[in-house]
Amino acid sequence: MELELAADADAAALIARLKPLVASRDGRPRSQAVKIVWHDSPEHALLADGLTLAEQRGEWRLERLTPGAETWLPAQPPPVLSDSPDLTELPSPLAPLAAFEGRRSVSMHHLGETTVTLTIDKGTLRAVTAERPVARIGLSGDEQAVRVAATLIAGAVAAAVPGFSLAAEAIAMATGATPQPRHLGAPVLPEAARTVPEALSHILGHLTDVVLAHAPRVAMPRSGDADDEVHNAIHQMRVAVRRARSAVSIFRPALAEGALDGVNDGLKTLGGRLGPARDWDVFADETVPAIQNAIPGDERLERLAAATSRQRTMHRRELAQYLASPAFRQLGIDLAWFAAASGWREPPPPVEMEPAADAAPEPPAETAPEPMTLEQFADTVLQQRWKKLLSAGKRIEELDVPALHGVRLRAKRVRYAAEMFATLHDAKSAKRFIDRLSDLQERLGVLNDGAVASHLLQELGGPGGRHGYACGLITGFMAARARRIRPRIVKTFQRFRRQHAYWA
| pLDDT tens, position by position, 207-242 | 999 999 999 999 987 655 678 899 999 999 999 999
Residue 14: in which H helix or E strand, if any?
Answer: helix 9-15
Q: What percentage of residues in the chain have a pLDDT greater than 70?
A: 94
Q: Which residues of 170-196 are buried (b: 16+ CB within 10 A; e: fewer)?
A: bbbbbeeeebebbbeebbebbeebeeb
Residues facing residue 31 across a β-bridge: 105
> What is the CATH number that goes with domain 374-497?
1.40.20.10
User: Which pLDDT score, from 0 to 100, does residue 127 have?
Assistant: 92
H/E element, 275? helix 261-282
What is the C-alpha separation between 440 and 434, in angstroms, rounded?
A: 10
**Sign (positive or negative) of CA dihedral 430, 435, 437, 441:** positive
Query: What is the structure's pLDDT at 255?
Result: 82
Give the pLDDT band of residue 349 (cuts 50, 70, 90): very low
CATH number of this structure's domain 1-182: 2.40.320
Query: Does the structure show a pLDDT above 50 at 244?
Result: yes
pTM: 0.90
**Residue 352's pLDDT is what?**
44
d(CA 431, CA 107) in angstroms, rounded, equals 51
* d(C-alpha 289, C-alpha 165), whole Å: 41
Domain with CATH 2.40.320 in the chain: 1-182
Model pLDDT, residue 369: 57
Query: Confidence class of residue 364 from pLDDT cuts 50, 70 and 90?
Result: low
pLDDT at 268: 96
Q: In the 3-class helix/strand/coil scheme, how is 72-85 assigned residue by residue? A: CCCCCCCCEEECCC
* Statement: residue 353 has pLDDT above 60: no
Kindly report, as residue ranges, where domains of CATH 1.40.20.10 are found in the chain: 374-497
